Every structure is written in C-alpha cells, then in structure tokens.
Chain A
Amino acid sequence: MTSQDSTFPATPGGPNAGRTTSPFFLSNEFGLILLIIVFAVIFGFSAQGFLSQFNLFTLGRNSAVNIMIGLSMMTVIVTGGLNLAVGAMGVSVAMVCGWMIEGVGLPWPLALLGALAFGAALGFINGGMVVRTGLHSFIITLATMSIFFGTMIFLTRAESFRELPSVFSTFGRMKFGGYVSPFLLLTLVVALLLAWLYRRTLTGREMLAAGASPAAAELSGIRVDRIIILCHMLSGVLAGMAALMLVARNGAAIPSMAGQLGQDWLLPAFLGPVLGGTLLQGGKVSVLGTVLGAFLVTMLSSGLLMLQVGAFWVQTFLGLMLLVAVLLDKARRSYLARRNLA
C-alpha cells in the first residue's frame, strides 16, 4: 500500500506495467500526510483533550468506519462509476444481520457472513443493472438507494434489532493497548488486501483497465461487464462491513444509522477517495490515499468539535474541503503535466 497504488496500465499483463512514476513528494498521499501532521499539531496544542487516550481511541474507531465507507465508494469509482446507494446498502446489510440473529436465530458468525453475502447481492443488482441498461451508475444507484432503503423500512417497519449478542458491543468497545480499536485493525487489513488486489492480481489490473478505457479493455479480452459487476459486489461487501462495525459500536442494528436513505454516508464516501487522489473518471486508484483522506476528515471533525467551532460548521467545513481538494488536485495534475512528470 504505497503511494500511487495503481494506475491504469497500457497493457494489463505485468504488475508494474504502465505505472506512472511522479515523485512521492508531489503525490496526494504526501500532501495528506503533511496535512494530518499539521492538523494534529494544531489540535494537539489548541483543543483540550485531543490527544487524550480516549479521544485517540475514538478517533481510530470512527475513522475506521469512515475509511471503510470510502473504500466502498472507491471500488466503484475505479470503474468510472459512482455508488450513491452505499449508505442504503450498508444499513440494509446491518438490518439483515439483525434479522438473521433475532428473527431466524442463526449464530452470529453465520449471520455476519450471510449479511455480507447479502451486501454482495445488492452490489450484483447495482452492477447488473448498470451493465444491462447501459445507464451511468449515478442514475442506477440513485434509484436503488431509494429502493433498498424503502424496502428495508417497509420490511422492518423502522424497528431496530436490539437483542443482539453481547459479543457485538464488547467488540465495539474493545481497546488494544488502551488506544487502538479493533475496527481500525480490521479496516487496515481490508485496505492492505485491496492494495494487493489492485497491484498484484490480474483481476485488480482488469478493474483498473476497465475503468480507464472500457473499449480498449474489451479489445484486450477483458470482460468489462463482469468486472463492473464484480466492483459493485465488492462495494456492497465493504459497505456492509462498515455497517456491521456500526452495529458493533451501537450494540443494535438501527434503520436510521446512515440517515434518511443512507445519505449521511455520501460525504465521507466521496471525501476519502477524492482527497486521496482516486480519479473520478476511473482507471486510477489510491488505497493509501483513501485511507489517509478518510482519516484526515475524521480527525478534522473531531478536532473542530473539540475546538467548539459549532457542530453545524463542521459539515460546512467538510464540504469546503471536498471542493478545495478537487481544485488542488486539478492544479497538481496540470503542474505535473506541464513538467512532464505524469
């Protein structure tokens, strides 16, 4: 999981084929690391308790969920698509998990697996519809966001599943060394696996190729349709993992956990990948950038809350950050192009 994790190769054969080699200090990832350090120092000195043991623990726990949400979106952005249903899918997975435990009586490990499979199935529906209709995933997932969430609310009657085994809430409150949430470790393992997928496997390279130029990828023998469906299924699983972490955090599966229609997840879903340098046009991905971007966003939320700038300004600030990040990235790419560095 290094910088410039993966870029569309001219030929998807070799693991390093077609990679660009701009200097690390000009990369998004380096900029994010600098920003994280700068803000950590600012908040450390100005926000009472920011570096306290409890806050560092909660920062790790909250960022783990946001990173996972960002990764979920990233896996679809890779193809040049979007997944607006990421929140609706996540909350649906959580509710299915709750139903399997409370309603069906399945042991919780089986319920977790079943719920993640359900997330993959929702992703299959999204991907399948994108491929079959030829419409942009923006339209398809805008529709399925309402369909998934509405169906979930109808079936559950907006009732939570609250009688979950205590292992969930125990896992949600667990601390390693007093500071580290297991959520964070789990998320980092997933991020490493994704980085491996995109850098070291043929399937990962095919995903990038399909995102960069579907027509060229098709001519190269890549079954682009199948790859797009696979990316959406992966997105569904990752959204489900984020939701299940929230279930563990709360000790309950709650229909409102991602806001109305799951829309509360959209900002963190975009912020991580976009700040991290994943191209919205597809074909380029940065797992490390997404991790750093989502962590920066979570740290800013935490720090701004602790500085008591006013909770309502936090959301405004995050929206501004998204805009500034996109503009800075555009300027950076222009600079690199002028210098023939990319």
Chain B
Amino acid sequence: MTNSIYAIAIAGILSAGAATSALAADDSRFGLVPGGPHPYFAAWEQAGVDAAADFGLSAAEYRVPQKWELSQQNQLLESLLSQGYNGFLIFPGDPVGAVSTAEELSGFGAPIIAGAGCYKDPSPAAFCLGTDTGNSAYIGTKELIKAMGDGEKRIAHFTGFLVDPNTQLRIDAVARAAEEEGATVVQVIADIDAPEPAEEKINAYLAANAGNVDGIITTAWVPAVVAANALRKMGDSGIKMVGIDHDEVVIQAIKDGIVDGTMLQNPYGQGYVGAFALDKLRSGCTVSADAPFGSNALTDKFIDSGTAFVDASDADTYLEAMRAETDRLLADFEDKYLTCS
C-alpha cells in the first residue's frame, strides 16, 4: 500500500510537471468544441485540420462532448485544458451557464472565441463568430414566399432546440418576414433538432395538415432533412419549402425540384477563421477597440460568418459558395477586428 501511494506521488510530480510545461509551451494547440453531437459542426473538424496546416498550428482539434449537455461540455473543456490545449472555439452549451467555465479557461491565458452561438455579455470570449440566425431565417422566409407565388401563403415553421438561444431569434424572424409579405405562420414546431422527435412530429403534422399548408421553412438541420424526405414521399403536394444547411438529402431534394432552396451557413469558415484568430490572439494580437462588430440579443461583439441562399441553379456549386464566404471573411479579418503589433 505504501509503495502504491509512493508511486502515485511520483507519478503526480512527473505528470504535474509535464502538464505545467505543456501549458507554458509556445505552440498553439486549440480545441474546437461544439455543444454536443450534431451534423452542423462536422465541418469544424476539416476546418481545424486545414487551419493547422495553413497557419502552422500545433493542432486545432475537433472534440465533441458525448451528449448535448452543459456538464459534459464543461468536463470535456476542463480535461482539454489539463492536457495543455491553450485556445478554444466553443459553441456555448448555455449562453450564461457556460460563461463560468470560459472564465476558468481564460484564467489560464487561453483565448476563447464563441463559434456558431454566442455567450451572453459579459463573457471572456474575444467575440462571437456565427451565423446571423435571425437574418438567415428572415431571408429564407422571404425566398420561400417568393417561391410560393400568388394565392394563399400559409407557412409551417420547423425549428431547433428551445434551449438553443438561436431558436427564438429564428421564430421571431420568420414571423416578421411573413407579416411583411402578408403570409401567415400557421404552425411552429420547435425542439425537434434530433431524428426521433423530428420524424415523429413533422410526419404527424404533415399527415394531418398537408392540405392546410402552402409552404415550409425549416431553420434547423435535422428538421430540414426530415421535411425534405417527407415532401419527397408525399409526391406532388404543391407545398414549397426552403431548408437550412447543406445536408446531402436537402441538396439532392433541391436538385430534384422537391425543395426550392436552402440557407447555407458557414460552419467551415467558423472553424477555419476561428482557429486563425485564436492563433493571432495567442501571438499577442488584441481585439481592436473600434472593430466593426454587430450586435444580437446576447452580445455586442458579433461577427457574421456568412449566409447565402442556394437554389437549383447553384446546388452543384454550393461548396464554392461556402469557400467564398470564408475567403471573404478571412481576407480583411486581421485589419478589421484585430490590432497586432
């Protein structure tokens, strides 16, 4: 027993030394951490790999909490910091509840950037790099109404988790766009950004109410996929639809004329530009006092990572649209938002 305790003590001293030296190392090792498993964030993995290669980082690794739950995310972030990761792009598991952990991380000198979703001010995040979700939903709804043409305009809105701070912004934006165009939002179904609830609720709703709906707007990934599949199964329903994101199912449905278009977001750009900015912040750059940040309900340090409407005419080239958004963002990012000596 005494030997075991002795071994632990030795191991502790050695490992603590190793950890300390890792924290103090001069290389950039970043963690790209979403709130939980979700296809939207898959592009962060490649973005991290590309950013590490292009900017000479030690690593920019995509690490996913095992569940979409704040405690799991906190535990993952704590373990990454202990392993010597020294910068983080984080989708906050909760806009306020996640601030406490971010403060702990930044207390060790690790820069933090909020990606895809924002912390509520005040927070230690340098800024929030995400989709202007309200604007995206607004543009998408306008495109849907345009596709619906004349006649009745009854819209069903399928959207994401109620605990996602973006969800309410999307609901409000769809309602605003509909009101401006004289359309009616006849149904909002939220909290369905996972396969099981999305399949159950969307299919049940359309089975009962297909005749009472002229258009569908989806503002979360999984509902977009499920609704596109539902319209494909229904055949010539006459229902128009605008989705969100670039799942293969949605893109193919656009090509086949089942779905009218989708609102691209730019998760790749968030990961790529986020890693670039983390490296700059770690190298001594600071956020410019006069940076032209936007505002949303959570923060006054918002940067729009880009959004674009894709329809049948450019469904084959949507990747180029995403890359173009990323290039546009990166081109003058340092000049606009950072001060580097």
Contacts and interface: CB of A to CB of B under 8 A. Distances in A.
Contact of A173 (B16, B76, B100): B100
A57 B37 CA distance: 27
A254 B66 contact: no
Interface stretch (A42-50, A136-144, A277-285, A321-329): A42-50
A255 to B, nearest CB: 7
A172 B100 contact: yes
A51 B20 contact: no
A334 interface: no
Interface stretch (B67-75, B145-153, B235-243): B67-75
Which of B72, B74, B78, B81 counts the most chain A CB atoms within 10 A? B78
B198 to A, nearest CB: 15
Given A55-B19, A264-B69, A50 B97 contact: no
Contact of A160 (B11, B67, B69, B97): B97
Interface in A100-130: none
A45 B100 contact: no
B64 interface: yes
Size class of A's contact patch? 35 or more
B64 A311 contact: yes
Given A246-B71, A252-B96, A55 B163 contact: no
A45 B78 contact: no
A157 to B, nearest CB: 8
Which of B71, B82, B100 counts the most chain A CB atoms within 10 A? B82
B104 interface: yes
A213 interface: no
Interface in A243-260: 246, 249-252, 254-257, 259
Contacts of B103: 173
A64 to B, nearest CB: 13
Contacts of A314: 66
Nearest to B4: A37
Interface string A55-75: 100100010000000000000
A162 B18 CA distance: 38
A131 interface: no
A50 B96 contact: no
Interface stretch (A185-193, A204-212, A301-309): A301-309
Contacts of B100: 169, 172-173, 249-251
Interface string A262-282: 001000000000000000000
A252 B244 CA distance: 31
B78 A54 contact: yes
A158 interface: yes
Interface string B79-116: 10111100000000011111110011000100000000
B84 A256 contact: no
A215 interface: no
A250 B75 contact: no
A250 B22 contact: no
A40 interface: yes
Chain B at the A interface: mostly helix, strand, loop or mixed?
helix
Given A256-B69, A256-B94, A158 B84 contact: no
Nearest to A248: B100
A306 B82 contact: yes
A176 interface: no
A162 B120 CA distance: 10
A2 interface: no
B11 A45 contact: yes
A315 B71 CA distance: 14
A256 B97 CA distance: 11
B8 interface: yes
A53 interface: yes
B246 interface: no
Interface string B149-165: 00000000000001100
Interface of A: 37, 40-41, 44-45, 47-55, 58, 62, 158, 160, 162, 169, 172-173, 246, 249-252, 254-257, 259, 264, 301-302, 305-306, 311-312, 314-315
25 contacts: A41-B8, A44-B8, A44-B12, A44-B15, A47-B15, A48-B84, A52-B15, A53-B16, A55-B19, A58-B75, A160-B94, A160-B96, A173-B100, A249-B74, A250-B70, A250-B94, A250-B96, A251-B96, A254-B97, A256-B70, A256-B94, A257-B69, A264-B67, A302-B79, A305-B76
